[in-house]
Amino acid sequence: MFHKEGHKIILSSFLVALLIAFFAEYKIENHFLLKIGIQLFGLIQLVLVLQFFRNPKRVTQINPYHLIAPVDGKVVIIKKVYEKEYFKDQRIQVSIFMSPLNVHVTRYAMSGKVKFCKYHPGKYLVAWHSKSSELNERTTIVLENKVFGEVLYRQIAGALARRIVNYAKEGKKVVQGTDAGFIKFGSRVDLFLPIETNLDIKLNDVVKGGVQVIAHKT
């Protein structure tokens, strides 16, 4: 299964691979290795696009007392910070870095109501850069429910990512684990959690979006 945000790119990549294969087959007659190499190049670019836009089915065990990982990737930051865009107070920041090889679907970490949503144009620093959360192209979304209160997550474009897709809209009621958007070609997601939140992850953990519990309330 592939994400709907990739359908046009997948079709384009398939056509490119097809054209490359036909060109090599009928225009390069006396260089067998060169012909095979060019055809392999076309096939590899198609496979890379397919794996990037894959959208594996995930079954979320909905639990109002759990926060689940919004994306696949590696936990690169866990620290107490001053969140200055929305809360303007101390929060726990959890940052998950996605390489181009990860699934790039963004999923809602909890059920609730979208309280805030804002897009910020910006730079394209590498996603693990400490300032990417403030300087890169990004979208900030705040969800609210009765258990966790308000939780902010931020989709951040990386050096390769050039488009953030966000499905959250202010006032919308959302369900934990469902599709919240997509970030194309490498990126990061930051979460800003209440200070009293109990974390179930540690630095450098590799998490699985839509299924893995990353924090809980008792």
Active-site residue set: 187
CB 110 within 8 A of CB 145: yes
Please name which of 58, 148, 142 lies closest in space to residue 107, comparing C-alpha atoms: 58
* DSSP assigned state of 209: T
Which amino acid, one-letter code, is at 113? K
* DSSP assigned state of 72: S
User: In sequence order, which residues have a C-beta less than 8 Å from that of residue 8 and are 6 or more positions away?
Assistant: none
Number of H helices, E strands in the chain: 3, 14
